[in-house]
Structure 1
């Protein structure tokens, strides 16, 4: 798949200490592991997250598994989504990230008053083909957490996911199954990143 040219920050723009991986013993446990991660992240009201997938089938599977979680506000981005709906999804998510940033800023001072719907974790699930198109004028969506449900095999794909989906103070969780450890190490070397094992307690990095 061709990678669109984008004007994006270099990998050095993102803190090397904020790239993590979580090892999954077997492929059939991958979705369960994702739901466990989301369950922990769900304790942070309003947390903006993006889950990236490599295919529409993978996106559909993630959306099906996540749709029943009451603490998740879910929005998929896929190729045949009408343009108006796509624009609405992106704008709603940007508003969610703004509220999150305001909430974080207020935590050291006055309480931040948010509505019931805004207490949910806001999550976009997107395929590589449908990431925000910076070159076409779409703005990055700046999630606090980016989960690579499918580990990209190319540095360019990893870079594009970060530059279009991840806030500069956010972090990445890479889901790694079995033999993908080799791919992970290759991404580290080619991208000049340190991808550390995720702490058992995700609250240490949220």
Structure 2
């Protein structure tokens, strides 16, 4: 993924009434993590941005968490299967608070940030596998991230739609990371879900 010449966005993001779906093609699997870090760097131009990164396995989740652990502009947490319920609840509540802060920053004039803790200026990110998505049917609330990154592309439409319904705000953005033959899977999801999944624009930071 080429990021040269991409400028940080200064105007506030424009809001739409429904999610927008994009994909970014990764030439080779070994470049996938580097591409994710590049994406997060672009997202880092927007302070407090709430992000969810969806993975396919615990190993993939651990690899993503390790890759972002030293990035100074990200505050990240993860949801995994053997996690204590109390810890999970704290992570989800903290993230929901971050989405509230983000919404206030989008709608309020700049200059009112004096009461926001320094850590809240960072991107707020949850890394999760499909097995640990918010359990809406069990009473957990959706977490309404501004940006959903499908680090692992779902193989089924149902999984794709569940990620949307449990993780993404109504006017959020989805970025699907696609490697090689996954283009066929992406097109199948697009057609069966009646979605338009466009190539990610160079100036994606202006849309966040």
TM-score by length of 2: 0.89
Find the residue that maps to 2:148 and give its secondary structure.
strand
C-alpha deviation, 1:110, in angstroms: 5.8
What is the rounded CA distance, in whole Å, between the counterparts of 2:55 and 2:205 in structure 1? 24
Tell me the residue number matched to 1:9.
none
C-alpha deviation, 1:122, in angstroms: 0.2
- Which ranges of structure 2 fall in alignment gaps of 5 or more residues? 1-16
C-alpha deviation, 1:200, in angstroms: 1.3
Find the residue that maps to 1:125 and give its secondary structure.
strand
Deviations, residues 99-144 of structure 1 (Å, cap 9, x unaligned): 100110103x763432211100000000000000000000000000
Contact map agreement 2:45 2:205 (CA 8 A) in 1: no
Deviations, residues 71-90 of structure 1 (Å, cap 9, x unaligned): 10010000011000000000
The alignment covers a number of residue pairs equal to 192
1:15 has 2:18 as partner: yes
What is the rounded CA distance, in whole Å, between the counterparts of 2:90 and 2:205 in structure 1? 30
Contact map agreement 1:59 1:125 (CA 8 A) in 2: yes
Find the residue that maps to 2:87 and give its secondary structure.
helix
What is the rounded CA distance, in whole Å, between the counterparts of 1:150 and 1:158 in structure 2? 10
Map 1:42-57; keep pairs closer than 5 Å: 42-57=44-59
Find the residue that maps to 1:46 and give its secondary structure.
coil
Map 1:93-112; keep pairs closer than 5 Å: 93-107=95-109, 111-112=112-113
Deviations, residues 161-195 of structure 1 (Å, cap 9, x unaligned): 00000000111000000111100100000000000
Deviations, residues 31-66 of structure 1 (Å, cap 9, x unaligned): 000000001111111000000001000000000101
Tell me the residue number matched to 2:61.
59
What CA RMSD, in Å, does the superposition of the two structures yield over aligned residues?
A: 1.4
Tell me the residue number matched to 2:124.
122
TM-score by length of 1: 0.90
Map 1:160-199; keep pairs closer than 5 Å: 160-199=162-201
What is the rounded CA distance, in whole Å, between the counterparts of 2:58 and 2:111 in structure 1? 43
Q: Hey, which bits of structure 1, 4+ residues long, moved more than 3 A?
A: 109-113
- Which ranges of structure 1 fall in alignment gaps of 5 or more residues? 1-13
Map 1:59-98; keep pairs closer than 5 Å: 59-98=61-100
Contact map agreement 1:47 1:144 (CA 8 A) in 2: yes
